[in-house]
Amino acid sequence: MNRKILFCATVDTHFSSFHLPYLQWFKQQGWEVHVAAAGDNSLPYVDVKYSIPIERSPLNWKNLEAYKSLKSLIEENQYNIIHCHTPMGGVISRLAARKARKCGTKVVYTAHGFHFFKGAPLINWILYYPIEKVLARYTDCLITINEEDFVRAVKKRFKSKVIEHIHGVGVNTDFYTPVNKFYKTKLREKYHYRNDAFLIFYAAEFNKNKNQKALIQSLSFIKEEVPNARLLLAGQGPLLNDCMDLAKELGVEGMVDFLGYRNDIQTLLNVSDVAAASSLREGLPVNIMEAMACGLPVVAVDNRGHRELVFNDRNGWLIKGNAEDISEKLILLAQDKLLCTRFGRYGREIIVGKYSLEKILEEKKKVYRRVMGEEKDGKWEVQ
C-alpha cells in the first residue's frame, strides 16, 4: 500500500508558487500526493486535488464547511503525513486531523512568519498567539522559516513534538542567476528600457503591509539627482489604484511602471539594477531571495525576514520604512555601479550558500524522515 501525504493551504496557488519541488520529491519516492486548498488550478505531481473553501478570515462561516470536508477526507484517506501551510490552512487542518493523529498520522505545520512578532500590533498578539500556542499541541513538527520565530516558539514552550528551523522554501539558483552586460542590454531593448536607465524592481501584492507607497514617495526625493530612475512594480491588489493616484499626485507617474501580474519575474530581475523591499512584515521573503540570486543589491525595510537576508554594507541596506531613507540609499547605488556589483555578488553567495533549492530540499528531507521515525536527531534547544 502506497504511503499518502496531504498538503493543505488556504489557496492552491500557494503550492504552485512555492512547493512544486517538494510535491515532485514525494512522487519520486513513490508517495501518493493529495492537495486540499481553495481554487481550481491543476497542479503537477498531484494524484488527487480537493477544492476546499478555506477562507483567510477566521470569522468566515465557510471555514466551518472547510473543517467538515477536511475532517471527512482525512479520516477516509488515512494519511501518513499531513503538511499544512498558511495561517487558516494550518488552523483548520490541525483541528481536522486530531482523530487521525491518534491513529498514527503525523501533522507538520510550516509557519511562514508568525503574525505575532517583536513590534507587532497588540491585536496580533491577542488573536494569533494563543491560537498558535494551543494548536502546537496538535502538531508533530512545527517548522519556522526565520530565527526569530524559531527562538520564540522554543522559549514560549510551544508543545509541538518537534520544532525545526528551515531556511525558507528555496530558490532555484540555476534559473535565478545573474546575466552579463551584453545580455542585459538585449533584454532591456526587448522590454523597451534605455540602457542607461536605473531600474528599481519590487514584486508584491499591493496592500498596506507591502508599503509600495513609500517607494513611490521616494521617487520625489531622487528625481533631481537620478532623473533616469524608474520603479518597476509587479503585482496586483486592493491598493493598486491608490498607488497609481499617489504617483500622479507627486508628479512621478512617468517614473513608475505598474506591471500588473507577471510570470516573467526572472527576466524583470535581470533587466533591473536594484531590488527594493518596502514591506513592513515578512517571514522570509522569496522575492528578495530571487533578487539576490540574480545578483541585485537590496534596499529593504528593517523587519525580521529581511534581517535574515540583508546585511548592511555587504549586500545592501536595512532602512526605516520612510521615503527619505529609501531615497538616500537608492541615490548611493545609482551613483556607484561598482558598489552595486559588489553587493550583488555577495548577495548571490548568501543564497547559493544557504537558501538554494537543493539545500532546502535536503533540510526538508531530514524533517520528513524524522517525523516518520526514520531519523532521530533534531533541534530542541535554541542554538
Would you say the CATH fold of 181-355 matches that of 4-170+357-371? yes
Could you report the average pLDDT of every consecutive run of 10 residues in the chain (383 residues)? Answer: 92 93 94 96 96 88 94 96 95 97 96 89 90 96 96 93 94 97 97 97 97 98 97 98 98 98 97 97 96 98 96 97 95 97 98 96 92 60 31
Distance CA(139)–CA(368), nearest Å, equals 13
- Phi-psi sector, 302: left (phi>0), alpha (psi -120 to 50), beta: beta
- The C-alpha cell at 105 is 498520522
Distance CA(283)–CA(115), nearest Å, equals 9
Alpha helices in 29-118 (DSSP H): 62-77, 87-96, 98-102
3-state secondary structure the chain: CCCEEEEEEEECHHHHHHCHHHHHHHHHCCCEEEEEEECCCCCCCCCEEEECCCCCCCCCCHHHHHHHHHHHHHHHHCCCEEEEECHHHHHHHHHHCHHHHHCCCEEEEEECCCCCCCCCCHHHHHHHHHHHHHHHHHCCEEEECCHHHHHHHHHCCCCCCEEEECCCCCECCCCCCCCCHHHHHHHHHHCCCCCCCEEEEEECCCCCCCCHHHHHHHHHHHCCCCCCEEEEEECCCCCHHHHHHHHHHCCCHHHEEEEECCCCHHHHHHHCCEEEECCCCCCCCHHHHHHHHCCCCEEEECCHHHHCCCCECCCEEEECCCHHHHHHHHHHHHCCHHHHHHHHHHHHHHHHHHHEHHHHHHHHHHHHHHHCCCCCCCCCCCC
Domain 181-355 CATH assignment equals 3.40.50.2000: yes
Cβ neighbours of residue 130 closer than 8 Å, sequence gap 6 or more: none
- The C-alpha cell at 217 is 514617495
Distance CA(383)–CA(381), nearest Å, equals 6
Q: What is the pLDDT of residue 383?
A: 30
**Domain edges within the chain:** 4-170+357-371, 181-355
Distance CA(121)–CA(129), nearest Å, equals 12
Amino acid making up residue 342: R
User: What Rg value do the Cα atoms of the chain yield, rounded?
Assistant: 22
Give the Cα-Cα-Cα angle 276, 279, 285 (nearest 5 degrees). 80
| Nearest of 21, 85, 16 to residue 365 by alpha carbon | 21
**How many residues are given for the chain?**
383
Locus of grid cell 497542479: 43
- The C-alpha cell at 294 is 540574480
Q: What is the pLDDT of residue 380?
A: 33
pTM of the model: 0.92
Q: What is the pLDDT of residue 249?
A: 98
CATH of 4-170+357-371, one of 3.55.50.30, 1.20.1600.10, 3.40.50.2000, 3.30.1510.10: 3.40.50.2000
